Amino acid sequence: MMPRPIHAVVARLVIVVACVAAWSARGGAQGGGPSAGETDAAWLTASFKQAWPELHARLVGLERAHGVLYGELTRGKGKVEESDVFARLRQRLSAESGLASSDPDADRGYAALGRRGAELIRRTHVFHREVLAIFAMVEPPARAAALDAAVERYSSRPDVALPDVPKDMGILYDHPYTTFTEEGFNPRRELRYPTLSGFVWAAHWFQLAAQEPLETAGDRAGRAAGLKIVTDRFERKLTAGTPPDAFPSELPLAPSIAPGLVSVHERSAAILDNLNMLHDVLADILVHPKVSNPRAVVDEAIGQFVDRNYRVVDVDEWIKMALRHSIFAQGGPALMEMTRTDRNSSGHAQHARGKQAIAPGGMR
């Protein structure tokens, strides 16, 4: 094995020392030092933030946008001014927003979900950033082991961790407060706030799509170019254009948007898809007119989502389920161009009726 260049060793030592100092400042001196796993995780996230500050800031901004949205849906209860909230969500995309030390509106929004819900979602967002950090900072042969370690750290508190096995997408269709209605055999969704749902789905697309250039590009210049493509496409999805330069019309899922992640580490990908489905279910709950006690209903939904035995499907079914809902409708590939839909009938009907997956088309 070749020795590391001395500047790389020094750089890592500086980052680790900074992480340990930050840990100590938070009160670590009262209970002993951080474990090796905690140091590795701290190094990864600190290195990622330092190496890719714009991407890190945008990811944090999107996480805060989710908090703002939860606060508005909780307070509004059917009376949300959609254009105003959309503007506030977009404000979180600025680099300054993602770098700010705090976001009181986002904090209040997460608090509206209750302690467990807020902690679960925040922890899973941090986990997602750690996954991207591994693709950005760890060499390919060591990534699977690093992702294994990240999942073990994340799963060490099962009461506030989503399972690393995929759940059935049918949970979106048949929970008591779903926005889906069935016309014949074709479920149809009536979104209370389509613009806000569109923003959230576009955010999910970006969070998943950012993985591909970090994985496939061989050098920093290639990664930067790929991330610019992903970022530009994300910005165009927030306009009133035509697909793919428009909101996704389906919930983006990892097998469709981040197939490389599924290939390298399906456990991590399953956690992220479970989070994105949970976001959809919580939004349905918060806007449903018959929900008189949102906190209790949110707690019930979270209890179901953290249960690794609840509505679990095998990996092959999860992948087919994602493809049936159309890569194009989920926002399209991260870097390739997709000029037309790959769907030849309703994706919802195919999922609900258990038909075969559709072969993707229109890529070039």
- The structure tokens listed for 228 are 């610019």
Phi first, then psi: give them for residue 312, nearest 5 degrees.
Answer: -85, 145
Helix axes 115-137, 36-51, angle to 10 degrees: 70
* Rg of the chain in Å (alpha carbons): 20
Strands 180-183 and 186-189: antiparallel
Residue with tokens 């500086």: 14
Per-residue pLDDT tens digits for 68-93: 999 999 987 668 899 999 999 999 99
pLDDT over threshold 50, residue 20:
no
Q: Which residues contact 146 (CB under 8 A, 6 or more apart)?
A: 40, 44, 134, 138
> In the prediction, which pLDDT does 43 show?
86
| Angstrom distance (rounded) from CA 245 to CA 337 | 11
pLDDT over threshold 70, residue 356:
no
- Strand, helix or coil for residue 302: helix
Q: Which residues contact 226 (CB under 8 A, 6 or more apart)?
A: 212, 213, 214, 216, 217, 334, 335
| Angstrom distance (rounded) from CA 355 to CA 324 | 9
Per-residue pLDDT tens digits for 100-123: 789 999 999 999 999 999 999 999
Query: CA angle at residue 165 from 164 to 167, to 5 degrees?
Result: 125
Residue with tokens 């105003």: 84
Hey, how many other C-beta atoms are within 10 angstroms of the C-beta on 74?
Answer: 19
- Strand, helix or coil for residue 363: strand
Helix axes 36-51, 6-25, angle to 10 degrees: 110
- The structure tokens listed for 296 are 């209790």
pLDDT over threshold 60, residue 3:
no
Alpha carbon 194 to chain centroid distance? 19
Per-residue pLDDT tens digits for 28-52: 333 334 455 555 888 898 999 999 9
Q: Maximum CA pair distance of the chain?
A: 67
Phi first, then psi: give them for residue 338, nearest 5 degrees.
Answer: -125, 115
| Angstrom distance (rounded) from CA 154 to CA 132 | 15
DSSP string across 171-203: HHHHSTT-SEEEETTEEEE--SSHHHHHHHHHH
C-alpha closest to that of 117 among 277, 288, 306: 306
| Angstrom distance (rounded) from CA 55 to CA 234 | 12
Mean pLDDT estimate for the chain: 84
Is the pTM above the cut of 0.75?
A: yes
> In the prediction, which pLDDT does 187 show?
65
Residue type, 287: V
Residue with tokens 């559709």: 358
pLDDT over threshold 50, residue 359:
no
Q: Place 18 in a pLDDT band, splitting at 50, 70 and 90.
A: very low
C-alpha closest to that of 250 among 317, 304, 324: 324
- The dihedral through the CA atoms of 319, 325, 327, 331 has a sign that is negative
Per-residue pLDDT tens digits for 182-224: 765 566 777 789 999 999 999 999 999 999 999 998 899 999 9
* Residues pairing with 180 in the sheet: 189
- The structure tokens listed for 68 are 């703002």
> In the prediction, which pLDDT does 262 show?
98
